[in-house]
A and B are shown apart, each in its own frame.
Chain A
Amino acid sequence: MFKPLNPLLHSELRLAVMSILIGIDEADFPYIKEQTGATSGNLSVQIDKLYSVGYIDVEKTFRGKRPATICRITDKGSQAFEEYIDALRSYIK
C-alpha cells in the first residue's frame, strides 16, 4: 500500500531546501541559493511556501550593515520530512 506523499515537500526545490536545513542549525539565503542552484525569485517563493505552513522559520536580520535572511527548520518541518521519507520508502519497496 503506497502512503500519500506530502505535496508541499514533493517538489524538487522545496525538498532540496528541507534536505539542506534538516542537517544544520540554520542557513542563510545565499548558502541555500548556492547549494540548490535556484534563482533568487524562485527560491523566495518556495521558502515562503514552506514558511507559511510552518515547516521552516525565517528570520530577517542584519550581518554588519548587510541584510540577511536566516532559515531554520521547525519541529513540525522535521516531523513532516520524516513522514515524507517514510512514505517514499513504501514506493521503493
Chain B
Amino acid sequence: MAKTHQSQATGLRASNTTISQTVKTRVMETKNEELTAQRSLEIISQTLEESRRRITQGSWKGMMLWGVSVMIIALVVGHLWKNSSMGTGANGLWGLLGVVHIIKTRYLQNKPKLPVTFVSKTIGQVWSSMGIIGGSLGFVLIFISFLNNTIAIPISHISPNIIYVYFPITSIMILFMGIAGMTTGMILHSRAITVCCYVAGILGCALALLFRGPYEMVVLAGVAFVGLVLPALIIKQKEV
C-alpha cells in the first residue's frame, strides 16, 4: 500500500516536472514574441562578451606551464652539461618537453573543452610552427653531428682546409621564441606580452651568443622567465 502511494507520488512529481518544463518552454516562446530589437542586440553583445571572457579565462596557464618547464629543463641541462660526464649529451633531456605535452593532453582529456576561436587557433598554429621548425632543426643538427664524427663536412670547395661551422642553436631558438611570443602578444592586443617577448628575444639571442656552452642554458632559463612566466603572471593579475 505504502509502495503504491510512493509510486503515485513519484509519478505525480514526474508529471509536475514535465508540466513545469512545458510551462517554461511556453514562457520562453511567449518571451520570444515580445523580443524587441533592443533586447536582441543586448543578447548578442552580452553573449559575445561572455563567450570571449570565458575563452580567454585561464589562458595564462599554458604560458606558465611551458615557461616553468623550459626553465627547469634548461637549468638541469646546463648543470649536467657543466658538471657531469654527459656534456652536450645532456641536451637530450629536451625530449622531456614532449612528456610534458603528453601529460597536459591526458590531464585535459577529461576536462570540459573550451571552444576553438580564430584567435586561439592562430596562436596555437604560431607556436606549433615554432616547435616544428625548432624540433626539426635539433634533429638535423644531431644527424649532422653524428655524421661529423666520421665525415668532415667542408663549407668551401675552394679552401683546402676543412672549416667547421658553429651553429648557434640556442640563440636561434630564443629568436624563434621571441618572434612567436611577440606575434601572440600582438594578436591578443597585450602590450605586456609583446614587450616581454621582444626584450627576451633580442637580449636573450645576444647573450646566448656571448655565453657559449652550458651558460647558454642559464640565458634560456631567463628568456623563459621573461618571455613566458612574467607575461603569464601579468595576465593572471589582470584576470583577478
Q: Does B112 belong to the interface (CB within 8 Å)?
A: yes
A88 to B44, CA, bound (A): 11
- Which one, B50-58, B134-142, B156-164, is touching chain A? B50-58
A residues less than 8 Å from B116 (CB atoms) = 24-26
A7 CB to closest chain B CB (Å) equals 9
Is A85 a contact of B47 with CB atoms below 8 Å? no
Is A88 a contact of B47 with CB atoms below 8 Å? no
Nearest residue (CB) in B for A84 is B40
A18 to B103, CA, bound (A): 34
A35-B51, A45-B25, A64-B110 in contact; A26/B115 too (CB < 8 A)?
yes
A interface footprint on B48-66 (CB within 8 Å = 1, 0 otherwise): 1011101100000000000
A45 to B115, CA, bound (A): 21
B residues less than 8 Å from A42 (CB atoms) = 21, 24-25, 28
Q: Does A69 belong to the interface (CB within 8 Å)?
A: no
A22 to B38, CA, bound (A): 19
Nearest residue (CB) in A for B21 is A41
A82 to B35, CA, bound (A): 18
Q: Does B109 belong to the interface (CB within 8 Å)?
A: yes
- 8 Å CB contact of B117 from A24, A63, A64: A24
Which residues of A from 1 to 24 have beta carbons under 8 Å from B? 5, 10-13, 15-16, 19-20, 22-24
